Structure 1
Amino acid sequence: MSNVADAVFAHAFSEPDRVAVRASGREVGFGALRDAAASVAARALRAGVAPGDRVLLVAPSIPEFVAAYYGLHAAGATLITVNVMATTPEIAYVVEDADVSLVVAWHETAGAAEKASAAHGLPFWSLPPLDEWDVSDRVKAPVDLPDDATALIIYTSGTTGRPKGAQLPISAIAGIVDAAEHVLEFDEDDRTGTALPLFHVFGQIMVMHLAISFGTVVSLLHPFDPRKLVEMIRDDELTIVSGVPTMWIAVLHAAGDATPEDFSRLRLATSGGASLPVEVIGAFEEKFGTRIREGYGLSETCGWATSAPLGAEPKVGAVGRAIHGVDLEIRDLDGSPVPTGEVGEVWIRGPIVMTGYWNRPEANADVLRDGWLRTGDLGTLDEDGDLRIVDRLKDLIIRGGYNVYPSEVEEVLYAHPDIVEAAVVGVADARYGEEVGAVVVLRDGAVLQPGALRAWAKERLSAYKVPRLFHVVDALPKGPSGKILKRALDRDALVGTGVAAGAR
């Protein structure tokens, strides 16, 4: 029996004054974090939240997120976290799909969540600043749950259908902590930090939860500002910092005349979400005195599966080896292992793998096979077991570390009265890794007004999902069955298209 919030209570008992979270000049000790979380748990239990009930949390990367997160876990809830940029329809979809019983949101970004909860007749809690919380009524300890109880449902666009909720049990999250103990060599003097969003599995589990689990302080930055992140690494004397390629590129430009001596305690920088250019890795090492180590993982594996060993020189272009307790195989389309060095689909097995997608038996039968997870990614393994990601089996776009599912965007575009056909694709972009591009066919006589179209789409999609590049064609290429052939689209025609002007 266990609970994701156990570490908060344990560290608060042994070292209540030890700093747990830093953000915007604020410091929250483990004792204060425990009290705040325990008050949330008490309120949730009074409200009738039962173990396994799904609760939606919408908040930025701030101490209030951390306190609410562990408080809801302490009550035994299954937590769902979504982007603060999510629109009312996007939140409503998750609320309906997961049969959510309570919605909790940070007061400054609560509009869409409050509307979605009201539309479904659900109770809604607005989170005020932490110093306004009433912590007089608190639970003494987290609710004990079976190790296989679902702690999180992380909605991931994946590559087919509407977003699916990956169910992550307590045991899988514990498996990440166990692997980190073997791989990352945490000690009590470490100081971690990030500007990653905590709603995402990378920031939530791989940064926040690992820091809390090992009793180390985590510094949070919201919103992302490259200059402020450089200052946070220096001023908070971070030893571990995590981000995605777009962040590292921006940080390098913001570092100015800084030297490695300014970041003397930094021992580890980690990157995920997309491939990191070789030039960026070299420039970061020269400026910050440490080499960025790339890793690989999915929402379905709690955000982690491979990592470059600390004692070995990371290989450029590789994302490391299977972490402790995890097995990797490269298989062909028939599910048979391929020889070393050959390209195939990445399969993963281990305690970190999800138990399945929420209410998606057909999808589960497709991706979960005898304890193995089919990732949908193409890669190779070399003789040392280092993984290289070659491509994606499907059309998932990764823009600045965020997954963008083309069909979801296409579905919205098709609802526009002037659009007859639409195909959404990723276009290489120096800043974001990939940019979202849309090739569209208009009804006769219609004229595309990009500003109005973007504003229209932004009401229905998170900002990072809205296409920045548009190209109008007379017809989309199709196969014999009438299926649109995205591989036949001219992506070069999207680059620098006039309709994208000023779209950042």
Structure 2
Amino acid sequence: MNLTEQLHETAIKMGNKPAYYFMDQFSTYAELDGAVTKFADGLSKLGVKKGDHIALLLGNSPHFVIGLHGALRLGATVIPINPIYTPDEIGYIVNNGDVKALVTLDLLVPLIEKMHQSIPKVKNFIICETPQGQASKVDPSALSAFSKMKSFTRVMASGNLNFKGPELEEDEIAVILYTSGTTGKPKGAMLTHKNLYSNAKDVSDYLRMNENDRVITTLPMFHVFCLTVALNAPLMNGATIIIDPKFSPKEIFRLAKKYEPTVFAGVPTMYNFLLQYEDGNPEDLKSLRLCISGGAAMPVALLHGFEKKFNVIVSEGYGLSEASPVTCFNPLDKPRKAGSIGQSIMNVENKVVNELGEEVSVGEVGELIVRGPNVMKGYYKLPEETAATIRDGWLYTGDLAKKDEEGYFYIVDRKKDLILVGGYNVYPREVEEVLYNHEDVVEVAVLGVPDPNLGEAVRCYVVSKNPQLTEEMLLAYCAEHLAKYKVPSSIEFLDELPKNTTGKILRRALKNQVLQT
């Protein structure tokens, strides 16, 4: 069994049940399954074959759901990409991922027209119409001016409901998720059909999702947290997802009042905004039976404050792209422990080890490693990185953790210098590489600093050879080359950066300096 087969089985059993609501309209499981089949056939008529790579440069929408499952039904490999990435970031992933077809929104057509020559492997650009109620910048009739561009609607309309996709093996690659690497270049985590199906099923069963659940899907679908927990896991057992294109407290309360959701999944930043929203009425969230938090550790004060105000339990979990992503959740049939990521979910084993790979004692800090059917096949075209990350069947997460006597795990710190901005991963080296390309920058160090709204913010320390260089100039430069959430919140100029005797820049010394101020 795989995700697209499961969707088809659900459509057979409960075809008239709403699969999703979007812009206050709904589509049934039968309609969704039919759209998926027709889109898969439409892709095949464009020459897309089993094993080809298709990128989804989309936000939360039915287009994403149909594009994802349509490509999977054809046997293609899907590469989700954050649509707010810069042309440089998009171009790298598309080229490195050997993408042959790209599905995106018509609002991004001007971007595609500017960069299409730099991504020559892409043979078809499939353009999705802007949802009703949002302003489109593109006349659909103008798409013919660029021969590689096709209308999503027309591609789907060209498909046949009798289309039968190829046989899919469980170890074949279903999705490649690009995650920032310590070298500054994203790495593509190859997730198989078995990886994604097993994790969606285990999460759905662990959280007791069923056909009576209605899940608010406001986390970005291109991110693995949403992909599994708020998209595929609900669809696994016939639940209904309420697709929210862009998170805002006002819209979440409106959706909650109208559709009476039972499950909400978000990152701590979202919970913070909901808690602080002045017009937020606890009565509007009374239908929730469960809130799920991930992407970053939730401050205990925030967790308790949210639970008290809205009278709902927040279950924290843990995951990473390389594990499809979930490995731990606080169980529903046992006490929730504040500050803990919970226990291992079914079929997944977590362990805390020392530098020799030996399991440490209860309460002792070590590296968290994971084993299970959800662990990736490896990094795309990076065999050495794969061998360093997966050893003897265990995925080494790079996160420091400890376990208590009841099997609850706690993330203590990041082994690497990862910065979490509103639940998004930012690696210092990635930002440093951009700044080092500036002609006036001599040295730079990037680190995360506490931020009351986003959890962490990116701060840079720069040594410049040009006394006329200003913080505003460098921030503008960063904005040209980095996604918005990766752009530093502040830049400080120093005469020199602290280093050890070998010349290595000491980020920890800078962080200590921040904490003392």
After TM superposition, the score normalised by the length of structure 1 is 0.93
Among 439, 464, 470, the residue aligned to 2:485? 464
Distance 1:110 1:391, change over 3 A: farther
Q: Secondary structure at the match of 2:476?
A: helix
Alignment of 1:423-438 (within 5 A): 423-438=445-460
Distance 1:161 1:454, change over 3 A: closer
Matched, 1:76 2:67: no
What amino acid is the match of 1:163?
A: P
Partners of 1:495 and 1:60 lie apart in 2 by 40
Partners of 1:495 and 1:96 lie apart in 2 by 44
Alignment of 1:394-413 (within 5 A): 394-413=416-435
Deviations 1:355-386 (A, max 9, x none): 11111111111110111000000000111110
Task: Tell me what 1:127 maps to.
Answer: 128
CA apart distance, 1:491: 6.0
Instruction: For structure 2, list consecutive stretches of 5 or more residues without a partner in the other structure.
Output: 133-151
Matched, 1:30 2:52: no
Matched, 1:12 2:17: no
CA apart distance, 1:36: 2.1
Task: Tell me what 1:189 maps to.
Answer: 212
Alignment of 1:3-402 (within 5 A): 3-113=2-112, 115-121=114-120, 122-123=122-123, 124-129=125-130, 133-134=153-154, 135=157, 137-139=159-161, 140-254=163-277, 256=279, 258-259=281-282, 261-402=283-424
Q: Is the 8 A contact 1:28 1:63 kept in 2?
A: no
Q: Is the 8 A contact 2:184 2:433 kept in 1?
A: no
Task: Tell me what 2:498 maps to.
Answer: 477
Partners of 2:372 and 2:109 lie apart in 1 by 37
Counting aligned pairs with the same residue, the percent is 37
* Mean Cα deviation higher: 218-227 or 117-126: 117-126
Distance 1:491 1:16, change over 3 A: same
CA apart distance, 1:136: 5.1
Partners of 1:491 and 1:114 lie apart in 2 by 46
Structure 1 vs Structure 2 CA RMSD:
1.9
Partners of 2:304 and 2:76 lie apart in 1 by 44
Instruction: For structure 1, list consecutive stretches of 5 or more residues without a partner in the other structure.
Output: 497-504
Partners of 2:117 and 2:66 lie apart in 1 by 24
Q: Secondary structure at the match of 1:16?
A: coil
Q: Secondary structure at the match of 1:256?
A: coil
Q: Is the 8 A contact 1:54 1:77 kept in 2?
A: yes
Q: Is the 8 A contact 1:4 1:151 kept in 2?
A: no
Partners of 1:495 and 1:471 lie apart in 2 by 16
Q: Is the 8 A contact 2:56 2:103 kept in 1?
A: yes
What amino acid is the match of 2:153?
A: W
CA apart distance, 1:144: 2.1
Q: Is the 8 A contact 2:436 2:442 kept in 1?
A: yes
Deviations 1:28-58 (A, max 9, x none): 2222222222222112111222212111111
Deviations 1:294-330 (A, max 9, x none): 0000000112100011011211110100000011111
Aligned length: 493
What amino acid is the match of 2:414?
A: R
* Mean Cα deviation higher: 156-165 or 49-58: 156-165
Distance 1:110 1:383, change over 3 A: farther
Distance 1:446 1:222, change over 3 A: same
CA apart distance, 1:214: 1.4
Q: Is the 8 A contact 1:240 1:267 kept in 2?
A: yes
* Mean Cα deviation higher: 176-185 or 222-231: 176-185
Q: Secondary structure at the match of 2:276?
A: helix
Q: Is the 8 A contact 1:89 1:116 kept in 2?
A: no
Q: Secondary structure at the match of 2:40?
A: helix
Deviations 1:121-157 (A, max 9, x none): 2221111257982435225344321011110100111
CA apart distance, 1:490: 4.5
